[in-house]
Chain A
Amino acid sequence: MLSRVVIVGASAAGLTVAEALRRRGYDGKLTLIGDEPHPPYDRPPLSKQILAGTWEPDKVRLRSDAALDGLGADLLLGHAAVGLDAARRQVLVAGGAAVGYDGLVIATGVSPRRLPGTDLAGVHLLRTLDDALTLRAALLDRPKLVVAGAGFLGAEVAAVAREMGLDVTLTGLLPVPMHNLFGPRLGGLIAEMHRDHGVSLRLGIGVSRLIEAAGRVAGVELADGSVIDADLVLVAVGSNPATGWLAGSDLCLSDGVVCDSRCQAAPGIYAAGDVASSYNPQFGARMRLEHRMNATEQGIAVAGNLLGDDLPVAPVPYFWTDQYDTKIQAYGIFPPDGEFQIVSGDPVDRRFAATYGRDGVMTGVLGWNAPREVRTLRQLVVDRAPWPASSTSSPLSALMAR
């Protein structure tokens, strides 16, 4: 009988597990350990509303003090977990405390990757609320900004900075922004959108080093030897799962905490959110998803599995990005070598829906300023609809005609 649950990571996934356990009637001891001093907060707005200054920082809080009190949990905030002693069933916390558990959830998320020179003044990372507020303050000085990395984060920050009127260059190793998420064709449309908004794009080439002058960053040198001048550099070259504290724990760590389809890493130990690499039976593949919805879906499922549900976790990934006045929403997966088909609307009109497929199966649907369409199309991914989809006989036409 479960009586002492410890959740390491007090962000979206960890908080979700705690709340779902209580909703399900778990009334034992609950400890939530988080390395940041802030109460649980939401990260997607950091590179959008917080950076743009349209929200007060407090608005990213996930729960009020009263709601957190109502959880009946010990909140150890500002305390990093530094080790796991699975034999003794204890989490070791910085400062020397050991917290015992009979059920453990690992939800420590990811840490941003760095480039050599990231410690220079004028070089920023963006993962935490403090990072976002520091970057926001620096952008207000109207620096010439170079964003190193054209994934999700880099593309969103470039958009916000351009809307603030800054001189922005977006660089990335791959030929188009968000290539690994959406493939070459949609990435090409995203590149066009940034170009139309005045971002200078230097894509398909890596950063070789950050250039220093007078103790701070002065530019970015690319692999071909060319240099882009910069007053400020955002390093947004992806993230690594925050598993350093689990070294020596005997858990299998390989691009995250390796879990089965139940999000279980070992008996009594589960993982949820960005850090979890779990087998997703819906796609027949191991996945580690850095998506906000996944943190919630896995969190709810892990709480259930802790309580004995023993159910596989097979979410259809959902994610979105807001750039300028465009909202891209996606369900599923979008392998860069998959095929892409527009099923309604037209990119010229800046509103369309598309499907993606590979190996005879539809793997994803995507909406560009088309929220209702993409929600309707989602079912095709759930059903693993045949690919290529026939526009006359498939459920596609019926769905779109609704």
Chain B
Amino acid sequence: MKVTIDIDKCIGAGQCVLSAPDVFDQRDEDGLVVLINPTPSAGQAADVKHAAALCPAQAIIVED
């Protein structure tokens, strides 16, 4: 699984951090996403897909 971010779209909601805290974090100053792990493990895949679906700005792109 490969994860990319469209940072222009990110609104800093932090939903991704709530869904998959090992893969996503937020910058302190503006809350925009920090991708900790662009290639999550199979065990993290369901959480990452949930994060991508839930993202209110649809800023997370997941490729299997």
Contacts and interface: CB of A to CB of B under 8 A. Distances in A.
B49 A320 contact: no
B26 A375 contact: yes
Interface string B15-44: 101100000001010110000000000000
Interface in A280-303: 292-293, 296-297, 300
A292 B56 contact: yes
Contact of B31 (A16, A19, A44, A372): A372
Contacts of A293: 13, 15, 54, 56
Contacts of B8: 55, 59
B12 A371 contact: yes
A20 interface: yes
B5 interface: no
B14 A296 contact: no
A36 interface: no
Contacts of A329: 12-13, 31
Interface in A192-207: none
Contacts of B9: 59
* Central interface residue in B9, B13, B17, B26, by most chain A CB within 10 Å: B13
Interface residue SS majority, chain A: helix
Which of A19, A44, A300, A372 is the most central at the interface, judged by chain B CB atoms within 10 Å of its CB? Answer: A372
Interface residues of B, number: 19
B3 interface: no
Nearest to A369: B30
Contacts of A375: 14, 17-18, 26, 31
Nearest to A296: B54
A318 interface: yes
Contacts, number: 57
B30 A371 contact: yes
A20 B31 CA distance: 27
A367 to B, nearest CB: 8
Nearest to B30: A371
B26 A372 contact: yes
A19 B49 CA distance: 12
Interface in A317-334: 318, 320, 322, 327, 329
A23 B54 CA distance: 14
B26 A62 contact: no
Nearest to A351: B29
A42 interface: yes
B53 A320 contact: no
Interface residues of A, number: 25
A371 B9 CA distance: 16
B8 to A, nearest CB: 8
A20 B54 CA distance: 11
A372 B54 contact: no
A327 B56 contact: no
A292 B53 CA distance: 12
Contacts of A296: 53-54, 56
A329 B17 CA distance: 15
Contact of B56 (A318, A371, A378): A318
Contacts of B4: none
Contacts of B12: 327, 329, 371
A160 to B, nearest CB: 16
Interface in A1-45: 16, 19-20, 23, 42, 44
Nearest to A61: B58
Contacts of B11: 44, 320, 322, 327
Nearest to B46: A23
Contacts of A374: 14
A327 B31 contact: yes
A327 B53 CA distance: 22
A330 to B, nearest CB: 11
Contacts of A44: 11, 56-57
Q: Which 5 A-B pairs have the closest CB atoms?
A: A371-B31, A375-B14, A371-B12, A293-B56, A292-B56
Given A327-B11, A372-B26, 8 more contacts: A23-B49, A42-B57, A44-B56, A59-B8, A59-B9, A320-B11, A329-B12, A374-B14
